[in-house]
Structure 1
Amino acid sequence: MPAISLENTITIAMSVRDRHASAAWYADMLGFELIFHADEAGWSEVQTKTPGVTIGLGEAVEPAPGNCVPVFGTADLDAGRAQLEAAKVRFDGPTEVIDGMVKTATFYDPDGNALMLAQDLTGG
């Protein structure tokens, strides 16, 4: 059976308590831009720094945190982590390093959704 035909877009859906507050958080903390709020549908989307990749925020009374872990590449993980920590963003322990491969750090948005920063250490 052949693979289905996909477009070059990805929406990472997350449940949140307050879409407007979450969209503002993603803009302030990660520099993402609001695409739209669909209040009648309880849905908002923000554009990430990666073309074709958006985050969809579905409003829920009791969000289901941790339902996915988007990983965002960064050239300087330590600087990014320091900036987020200065804004009181919670991280899940120390930065993990696999020598010659990758450096990662997991952090959380205000609704407890896990996100990750990753820095390529392969030199490629």
Structure 2
Amino acid sequence: MPAASLQSTITLAISVRDRHASAAWYAEMLGFAPLYHADEAGWSELSTLTEGVTLGLGEQAEPSPGNTVPVFGVADIAAARAGLEAAGVRFDGETEVIEGMVATATFYDPDGNALMVAQDLTGGA
């Protein structure tokens, strides 16, 4: 995947027990503004005070502390994934698609750290 295919956005994804409560906490404590809650997907996003950086909250019954996953925005997830795979990068399963919302694919760096690429499917980006 050429660096030119990356967009100027990054989402820091973390797991939480209650997205709505966590979103309120981040808003109150850090001044982050809720962008949306996708209840059907168990996902919420907040804008941070840094341009192009959002915080994603994924709801899990038992989240693991310290599990932040950087999510890099791409214009074409199939092309980005193909380029990374051609370079020998290991992916965790298939690309996941939530129709009309997002396509994501998790991959790993040489030390086993999880990273993700995501393509916005809302038509807004």
Compute the TM-score of the two structures, normalised by the length of structure 2: 0.52
- 2-side partners of 1:65 and 1:7: how far apart? 28
**The structure with more radius of gyration:** 1
Superposed displacement of residue 6, structure 1: 0.4
Q: Between Structure 1 and Structure 2, which shows a larger proportion of strand residues?
A: 2
RMSD over aligned CA atoms reads 2.0
* Structure-2 residue corresponding to 1:14: 14
For structure 2, list consecutive stretches of 5 or more residues without a partner in the other structure.
71-125
* Structure-1 residue corresponding to 2:44: 44
- 2-side partners of 1:69 and 1:40: how far apart? 21
- How far does the alpha carbon of each residue in 1:41-67 deviate from its partner, in whole angstroms, 9 at most, with x for none? 000000000111000000000001101
- Match of 1:49, SS state, is coil
Superposed displacement of residue 34, structure 1: 0.3
State the aligned residue count: 70
- How far does the alpha carbon of each residue in 1:3-35 deviate from its partner, in whole angstroms, 9 at most, with x for none? 461000000000000000000000000000000
- Match of 1:8, SS state, is strand
- 2-side partners of 1:48 and 1:3: how far apart? 24
- 1-side partners of 2:69 and 2:5: how far apart? 24
Compute the TM-score of the two structures, normalised by the length of structure 1: 0.52
- Spell out the pairing of 1:96-111 with structure 2 (5 A cutoff): none
- 2-side partners of 1:7 and 1:45: how far apart? 18
For structure 1, list consecutive stretches of 5 or more residues without a partner in the other structure.
71-124
- 2-side partners of 1:4 and 1:64: how far apart? 33
- Match of 1:63, SS state, is coil
After the TM superposition, which segments of 4 or more aligned residues of structure 1 sit over 4 Å from their partners?
Answer: none
* Structure-1 residue corresponding to 2:33: 33
Identity of aligned residues (%): 73
- Match of 1:22, SS state, is helix
* Structure-1 residue corresponding to 2:119: none
- Residues 18 and 5 (structure 1), Cα distance of their counterparts in 2 relative to 1, 3 Å cut: same
* Structure-2 residue corresponding to 1:68: 68
Whether the 8 Å CA contact 2:19–2:59 is kept in 1: the answer is yes
